[in-house]
Amino acid sequence: MEVRSQLNPASDLHIIHLKQKIPEEVLLEPPFEDALLYPKTNTRVKSSCEILEQATLVARFTFDNATTPFLDSGPNLTPANAFSYSLVPGPKSSTAISFSGSNRSYFQAVGFTTLSLSNHEFSIAMWIKPQSQSGTIIHISTASNGTGAGCMPFMGLATNELLVVQIPISKSVSLLSSPITLNVWSHIVKTWSPASGLRLYVNNVMVSSLPTANLFLPYSQSPVYVTLGNGLPASVSCRQGILNSTIPFTGAIDDFRVYNRELTASDICAIYSSS
């Protein structure tokens, strides 16, 4: 084997790209005539960016497959389901999931350990097309009904189309905000790391950041439920920040991704241009 590239994107993450080499001499006799011990392939060598993308992607839901719209195209096959939804055209001729604004209209996936680890960097990227001025876009919990240790609205719209992203810091909540236009697709990225704090990108532009939010302290280390479009009625007992998790989201969401690292500006530009 030959080492083609090495990456060290985080202190606890090492990525080594190996390439199999065909020896100059046949070391073993083929078992029969014309047999190939080393089948030739035309596989393209992946770039370091592609390797990093695949190594750090936790989950990705594109909602493009009409038969199985909740299939996770990431490496972990995260289980998911949705209720009282519809499929609508997405931002770039793809299919998106749409929520009606009722308490029974939502998407839910479970198994996001990345979001339950203290001070572990992460990123969330998605397209949204809101149709109302307020509502919960992302809610995290350790129970399927939206409750449990550390439950809170992670992203949502406050009054007057104000986009809010929040993280748990002990018993308080940090937030950033930016106005979002109704009935228009917008690409949203939320990142957090100890080095950069909390950052919010809208349509490939960092609109706000809070470097002092350099702690991420969820109350539980159980794999997290992520609910899109709703916080569910029982979440009234959760920490709220300036959002109200019981107000459902009306509108559409597409290409929802979770990463176990902080995306860079270059990463976000590539996602925004391609998705």
pLDDT at 222: 83
Select the more confidently predicted residue: 262 or 30.
Answer: 262
Residue 68: is it exposed, middle or buried by C-beta count within 10 angstroms (0-12/13-18/19+)?
exposed
Q: Residue 204 contacts by C-beta under 8 Å, 6 or more apart in sequence?
A: 187, 268, 269, 272, 273
Select the more confidently predicted residue: 263 or 9.
Answer: 263
- CATH node for 59-274: 2.60.120.200
pLDDT at 22: 66
pLDDT at 31: 57
Q: What's the pTM value of the predicted model, to 2 decimals? A: 0.82
Q: Is the pLDDT of residue 168 over 80?
A: yes
Q: Is the pLDDT of residue 37 over 90?
A: no
Enumerate the domain spans of the chain. Answer: 59-274
| DSSP summary character for residue 51 | H
Select the more confidently predicted residue: 85 or 40.
Answer: 85
